[in-house]
Amino acid sequence: MEFCVENSNIEKQQTDCVVVGIYESNQLSASAEQLDKLSDGYISHLFAQGDLNGKIGQTLLLHNVANISAKRVLLVGCGKQEEQLTERQYKQIIQKTIQVINETGSTNAVYFLTELALKNRSTYWNIRFAIEAIYENQYNYDEFKSIKPENHQVLRQITFNATNQIEEVTQALEHGKAISLGISYAKDVANCPPNVCTPKYLSELAKGLDTEYENVTTRVINEAQMAELGMNAYLAVSRASENEAFLSVIEYKGSPNTNAKPIVLVGKGLTFDSGGLSIKPSEAMDEMKYDMCGAASVYGTMKAIAEMQLPLNVIGVLAGCENAVDGKAYRPGDILTTMNGLTVEVLNTDAEGRLVLCDTLTYVERFEPELVIDIATLTGACMIALGNHNSGLMSPNNELAQELLNAAQQANDKAWRLPLGEEYQEQLKSNFADLANIGGRLGGAITAGQFLSNFTKKYTWAHLDIAGTAWKSGAAKGATGRPVSLLSQFLINKAQN
Ligand code: BES
Ligand code: MN
Ligand code: ZN
C-alpha cells in the first residue's frame, strides 16, 4: 500500500473513491458540505430521505455524483459531531471504511477523514492511527498455508487530505509506516511455528537487520560463549533442548554523538516454553510458541527505529532459548549460580523466563546503558491482573515509569504500573540459595519483576510484562505486535529531547 499527503481539490479529484465523514442529526463534515453544495444538495437530500443516520461505522457508497470527478463517494458515519472520537471509535471507522473501499474495487482513494476530531489528539495522530489500523487490517499470516486465501485487496494507494501542517502530517506518515512495518515484522516472527522459529532463527533475523541497515551491527553469542561468561541460569533453561540458545545483540547507532550511552531493550525469546520438568498442561500449550514475543517486539522496534533513522543509540537484545523436556533437563531443587554471582534455587522449571533474563540483564551492564527496558511474556499472573488490555509495567524509577506510561497512552498501546518492593522480595526467600525462582501464587507478576530487580541494580531499569497483550487466543488467534508502538513512541520521545 502506498500512502501520500496532498491538499486535494474535492471537486476535481481524479480518484476511484473520495471518503468523507458525516455525523448524526444531519450534520456534515467540511468536505461533505462542499460535496453537498457542488451536487446541489444531494447529500442533504439523502439525509432527508432517511438513507443516512451518521452513526459510527455506517457507510453509504454513491456513484457518479453530479459535478464531482471522482468515480465514487463513500460517506462514512462518524457519530455525534459535538462528541470527539475516542481511539477505539476512530479505529472502528477506519476498519469499516477500508473494508467497504475494498469491496468497491477501487484501487486508489482520497481520505478526507483527516478532518475528524479525535479527543485530545492532533492531525498527526489522526493519520498515524489511520495508517496503523490499515496495516493491521491488511495483515495475515499464510506462510504455511499451501492454499493461500484469496487476496481481495485491490486498494493500492491512499491519499490523505491535508490543508495545512504538511510537515506534521508527513511525519505522521513516516512514523506510521515505520511503526506498522515494525509491528508486521514482530507479528511474522511471533506467529512462526516453534519448529521453524528457533533461537537460531531469531539470530538469523537479527543478522538480517545488520545486512539491511548501514548503522546496525549484530553480534550473536552462542552457548559456548555464554558458558565462558558464566550465564549458568540461562544455560540451565536451554540444556534440555536440541535447539541451541543464541543471544543476539543488535546495535543501532543513530546518535550524532557516537559515544552517547545506549538505550537497551531486552526481549524474552523463549521460542517454545513447555514448562520443562514442571511441565505445562497440554491445553493451549501450542500458544507457548508466543513466549518469544518480547524478543519479537524488540526486533520489530529495532526495525521501526532503523526505518525512521532516529538520532539515538539503541541496543536490542534477543534472548533466544527453548524450555524443553529431556533427561538433561534442569530440575526443581537445582541451585544455579547466575552471571552476577547470586545463587538461585529452582522451585519451578516453568519460571524459566526470569532465569534467562537475569543473566541477560547482567550481560548488558557492559554497555553502560542510559537505561534498560526488558519486555517479556513473563507471567500468567499478569494476564489475570490486567487482562488482555494493559501490559504490566514495573520499575523502581518513577521518571522512567512515567515516560513509559506517557508513551503507552500516546501510542494507544496501554500499560499499567504495578509496584515492586521489599515485601515482595521476602516472598523470594530460599532456605538454600540467595533467591528462589518463584514467590508463590500471590502477586505473581510482581514477584517475577521483583526477581529481575535483583539483577538490574547497576542501571535505570523498567520491566514490561506482555503475557496478556502480545497475542490473542481463540478464533482470532495471532500475535498483536504489541508493544512495538509503545516502545517506538518512547524512543521517538527520547529522540525529541
Ligand atoms: N511464559 C510463561 C508465562 C505465560 C503463561 C504467559 C501463560 C502467557 C500465558 C512463563 O514462563 C511461566 O510459565 N510462568 C509461570 C510462573 C510460575 C511457575 C511462577 C506462570 O505464570 O504460570
Ligand atoms: Mn514458563
Ligand atoms: Zn515462559
* Centre of ligand 2 from the C-alpha of residue 82, in Å: 49
* Centre of ligand 1 from the C-alpha of residue 273, in Å: 9
From the annotation, which residues make up the binding site for Mn(2+)?
A: 268, 273, 291, 350, 352
Q: Which of 214, 299, 220 is nearest to 265 (CA)?
A: 299
From the annotation, which residues make up the binding site?
A: 268, 273, 291, 350, 352
**413 within 8 A of 483, measured Cβ to Cβ:** yes
Tell me which of 379, 437, 446 to substitute to probe ligand 1's pocket, judged by most ligand atoms within 8 Å of the beta carbon: 379
Closest protein CA for atom 22 of ligand 1 = 380
> 3-class DSSP state for residue 51?
coil
- The whole-angstrom distance between residue 421's C-alpha and the CA centroid of its chain comes to 28
| Cell numbers given for 394 | 514495573
- 161 strand-pairing partners: 6
Closest protein CA for atom 9 of ligand 1 = 380
Position 271 pLDDT exceeds 90: yes
Q: Check pocket membership of 443 for ligand 1, CB cut-off 6 A.
A: no
Identity at 492, one-letter amino acid code: I
Check residue 164 and give its pLDDT. 82
Q: Check pocket membership of 380 for ligand 1, CB cut-off 6 A.
A: yes
For residue 270, give the ligand 1 atom closest to its CA.
1
Closest protein CA for atom 8 of ligand 1 = 467
**Which stretches of 309-352 are DSSP H helices?**
none
Burial 146-181 (b: 16+ CB within 10 A, else e): eeeeeeeeebeebbbbbeeeeeebbbbbbbbbbbbb
CB atoms within 10 A of CB 418: 20
Q: Check pocket membership of 271 for ligand 1, CB cut-off 6 A.
A: no
Q: Which of 101, 105, 119 is nearest to 20 (CA)?
A: 101
pLDDT tier, 248 (very low <50, low <70, confident <90, very high otherwise): very high
Question: Mean pLDDT over all residues of the chain?
Answer: 96
Q: Check pocket membership of 444 for ligand 1, CB cut-off 6 A.
A: yes
pLDDT tier, 150 (very low <50, low <70, confident <90, very high otherwise): confident
Q: Check pocket membership of 379 for ligand 1, CB cut-off 6 A.
A: yes
pLDDT tier, 258 (very low <50, low <70, confident <90, very high otherwise): confident
What mean pLDDT comes out for the span 131-157? 91
Per residue in 54-69, pLDDT tens? Answer: 999 999 999 999 999 9
Task: Please tell me whether the overall predicted TM-score, pTM, comes out greater than 0.95 for this model.
Answer: yes
Query: Could you give phi then psi for residue 193, rounded to 5 degrees?
Result: -65, 155
pLDDT tier, 74 (very low <50, low <70, confident <90, very high otherwise): very high
Q: Check pocket membership of 447 for ligand 1, CB cut-off 6 A.
A: no
Position 8 pLDDT exceeds 80: yes
Per residue in 172-219, pLDDT tens? Answer: 999 999 999 999 999 999 999 999 999 999 999 999 999 999 999 999
Q: State the Cα–Cα distance between residues 471 and 297, nearest whole angstrom.
A: 11
**316 within 8 A of 302, measured Cβ to Cβ:** yes
152 against 376, higher pLDDT: 376
- Which residues are known catalytic residues? 280, 354
Burial 73-90 (b: 16+ CB within 10 A, else e): bbbbbbbebeeebeeebb
For residue 447, give the ligand 1 atom closest to its CA.
19
